[in-house]
Amino acid sequence: MLLFQKGILFGIMISFMLGPAFFILIETSIKKGFKSALFLDLGILLSDAIYLLAAFFIAEKINLWLSTNNSLQYIAGSVFIVLGLFSIRKNYLQKKEADTKINNLNAVDTKSSNLIIYPFQLIIKGIGLNAINPGVLVFWIAACTYATNELKLTNIELLTFFGITLSTMFLVDIFKIYFSSKLKERLNNSTLAIIGIGIGCLLVFFGLAICFKDVSF
């Protein structure tokens, strides 16, 4: 029972950690709706599960490789900076358009949502978004180390603990996505664009932080 509670608390804590994936998930929920954000979240969590398994089996080797290969850090940071700048430009143009004419809110950036392939694109985007951030892998390595050394968990207990953690993260994300998607009904296109510009600025900030500091998230 104590293991179950610790897994839930750990999952809740991770769900509210502020990183690039968090903000893109919220933006997707607000601008594209609940279903689109849910598929994106599935990709993010799948990437988390893959990194967790990698951390579990080869944590020491990965940690050594990351510490001697700074190029990955700069590549990941550059990707987030480009994503942020693209988001700023895209939303700035949308705001200019919204300021000059009355738009239908339901027309915001959902033109691909009826395609069969669209959910898979979002899942792949979620996997890629998490995979390019080396901080995610470092975090799961640290989490495995903590669970092994501090909590003294055995192999089966580790699988149970992190299974509960990932399940809790998914449930919390569903609530975040649901409530964020409801904001769409109360916001106009101009306000949505401003939110997008703000999130773009945050992505640029995270990209710079990855490039010029030690991995911290």
The pLDDT confidence band at residue 174, using thresholds 50, 70 and 90, is very high
Residues constituting the chain = 217
The pLDDT confidence band at residue 171, using thresholds 50, 70 and 90, is very high
Query: pTM here?
Result: 0.68
Contact 29, 196 (CB under 8 A): no
pLDDT tens-place string over residues 75-131: 767 877 887 888 788 778 877 776 665 444 444 444 444 445 678 889 998 898 888
